[in-house]
Amino acid sequence: MAASLTTCVTKVYIHPVAVFAIVDSYERRNEEAKRVVGTLLGTLNNGVVEVTNCFTVPHVETQEEVAFDKEYASSMLELYKYASPAEDIVGWFATSHDVTGHSTLIHDYYSIECANPIHFTLDTQLKTGHMTTKAYVSSLMGVPGGTRGSIFTPVPCEIKSYEPEAIAIQTFARNKGGSKKPTSLLSGVQHVSRSANDLVDRLKNVLQYVKDVINDTTPANNEVGQKLMAMLGQVPQMDSKQIEKMMNNNMQDLLMVLYLASLTKTQLSVGTKINSII
pLDDT in tens, 105-126: 888 888 888 888 999 999 888 8
Q: For residue 101, which phi and psi values (nearest 5 degrees)?
A: -65, -25
Distant-in-sequence, close-in-space partners of 218: CB < 8 Å, separation ≥ 6:
209, 212
Q: What kind and span of H or E run contains 88?
A: strand 88-94
Is residue 1 over pLDDT 70? no
Residue-wise pLDDT for 202-222, tens only, equals 889 989 989 988 988 888 888
Report the pLDDT value the prediction gives residue 182, as an integer from 0 to 100: 62
Dihedral sign (CA 14, 19, 21, 22): positive
Q: For the whole model, what pTM was predicted?
A: 0.62
Cα–Cα distance for residue pair 146/126, rounded to 1 Å: 39
